[in-house]
Amino acid sequence: MKLFVKTFGCQMNAHDTARIGEIMLRAGYSLTDDPREADVALINSCTVREKAWHKAISETGRLRLLKSRSREVVVGIVGCVAEQEGARIFALIPGVDLVVAPDHYAALPALIEEVRRERSPRAITGFDAGGAGDFLCADAARGGGSPLAFVTVMKGCDERCAYCIVPTVRGPERCRPPDDIVGEVRALTANGVREVTLLGQKVNAYRFGSTDFVALLERLDATPGLERLRFVSPHPRHMEPALASLYGRLRTLCESIHLPLQSGASSVLERMRRRYRADEYLEVTERLRTACPAIAITTDVIVGYPGETGAEFEETLGLIDRARFNGAFSFKYSPRPGTPAAALADDVPEEEKSRRLELVHERIERLEREWRSSLVGRTLEVLVVHEGRLAGQIGGRARNGQIVNFPAPGGQGFDRFKGALVEVAVTAVHPHSLKGVAV
């Protein structure tokens, strides 16, 4: 029996897909990248924006066509769209067999067997209690030899930003016991993992008993074999001075952070219910750069939020310049069902949203280009994780998040250097990567 899964959305979805694969492998399935070979075909969906929702629905509809080849193929949608829509999916996409929300992936093998046995669709939604067994941890022995791993430390979100559907589809905040997190990271490093990314919808709000996020990072920093530590996605109002001070102090904590802004106008942030002001956000970025001058800060920006005036948008452009972002994901506002913002008039014309988005792109690209050009001539530590497109080339990610490709030293192959930390002198800047030579 073969399983096909196509993933959309964030790193948490990528982590969930890997865990789904491990669950199904233990149930006797093998994995395939070709949906035409699959006995079970799933879409792991995202609904944080309207476009992502449409893409998930469209791709699930395409998988449904596999049934013309064999009625035995089980087609399903999992992830955030599954929680959002539930059994409504069956009317929306006739022929779908399975709808499973994120907190129920452990039940997938049994649910698939029920669908086959009873020849009727199944939908399971709702949230778990966040108990020790409710977090999907990696099967270190099945890691495939990758030097990279994701580890969930918390899930859900209690922020209730006016535009955000995440609390609806991921539930309330639930934190994982720190001993379980440390144990998983130790098992991963014992199996060759060098870099771990901690995951949570509001990861830096983590607290379990007396252990807060700072204490958790300090514990993990002492893990034997762990060379690098990252986390996503933090919330600006939880970037306390004690957390910022860890940059440049902890051995493993990489000099990069993705810190969502959304708007540079305090008036818009208030309407968004973000619970911080623009000047407070800037204080956080300044605190981070003081602790670690080499840190790369990337962000998220929404343009065209209901009521956003031209003057408020100009405030966003101004903050981008002052924060000196090293990269960003920027989007047009799109209403999500059930959120407070969905009841507001979407009063910024589409043409104006497009204009503002283009201006943000131009501003960010200029800052990113200037920063990346400044890296030429510098030496960066690169964790080798892939082969380059050119013969004899290997590459990976520097601690600042940049992809760097370079010729394998001594003409040796990728297998010799996979998982190695290599000092690389940057020689050139390409659109999506840096080029260098090992030193």
Q: pLDDT of 236-294, one tens digit each?
A: 999 999 999 999 899 999 999 999 999 999 999 999 999 999 999 999 999 999 999 99
CB 67 within 8 A of CB 39: no
CB 195 within 8 A of CB 231: no
What's the pLDDT tens digit per position in 169-190? 999 999 999 999 999 999 999 9
Q: Assess whether 144 and 225 both reside in one domain.
A: yes
Residue 289 is predicted with a pLDDT of 97
Question: Does the pLDDT at position 141 exceed 80?
Answer: no
| CATH assignment at residue 359 | 3.30.750.200
Q: Assess whether 111 and 205 both reside in one domain.
A: no
DSSP assignment letter at 382: E
β-bridge partners, 318: none
**Mean pLDDT estimate for the chain:** 96
| CATH assignment at residue 239 | 3.30.750.210
Q: Assess whether 55 and 94 both reside in one domain.
A: yes
The structural domain count of the chain equals 4
How far is it, in rounded angstroms, from Cα 6 to Cα 15?
12
How far is it, in rounded angstroms, from Cα 8 to Cα 171?
19
Question: Does the pLDDT at position 143 exceed 80?
Answer: no
Residue 10 is predicted with a pLDDT of 87
CB 137 within 8 A of CB 180: yes
How far is it, in rounded angstroms, from Cα 424 to Cα 107?
45
* pLDDT range class, residue 377, cuts 50, 70, 90: very high
* pLDDT range class, residue 144, cuts 50, 70, 90: low
Domain that holds residue 136: 129-254
Helix/strand/coil for 299: strand
Write down which residue in 81, 99, 124 finishes a domain: 124
Buried b (16+ CB within 10 A) or exposed e, 134-159: ebbbbbbeebeebbbbbbbbbbbbeb
Question: Does the pLDDT at position 146 exceed 70?
Answer: yes
pTM: 0.95
**Mean pLDDT value across residues 57-72:** 86
What's the pLDDT tens digit per position in 116-126? 999 999 999 99
* pLDDT range class, residue 71, cuts 50, 70, 90: low
Q: Assess whether 368 and 430 both reside in one domain.
A: no
How far is it, in rounded angstroms, from Cα 319 to Cα 314?
9
Cα angle 30, 99, 77; round to 5: 60
Question: Does the pLDDT at position 40 exceed 90?
Answer: yes
| CATH assignment at residue 410 | 2.40.50.140
**Mean pLDDT value across residues 225-239:** 97
DSSP assignment letter at 253: B
Helix/strand/coil for 264: coil
**The one-letter amino acid at 389:** R
Q: Assess whether 116 and 221 both reside in one domain.
A: no
Q: Assess whether 114 and 153 both reside in one domain.
A: no
CA atoms within 13 A on the CB side of 284: 24
* pLDDT range class, residue 70, cuts 50, 70, 90: low
Percent of the chain with pLDDT over 70: 98
CB 287 within 8 A of CB 239: yes
β-bridge partners, 436: 426
How far is it, in rounded angstroms, from Cα 34 to Cα 10?
22
**Mean pLDDT value across residues 400-426:** 95
**Angle, nearest 10°, between helix axes 310-323 and 350-374?**
10
What's the pLDDT tens digit per position in 192-214? 999 999 999 999 999 999 999 99
CB 192 within 8 A of CB 176: no
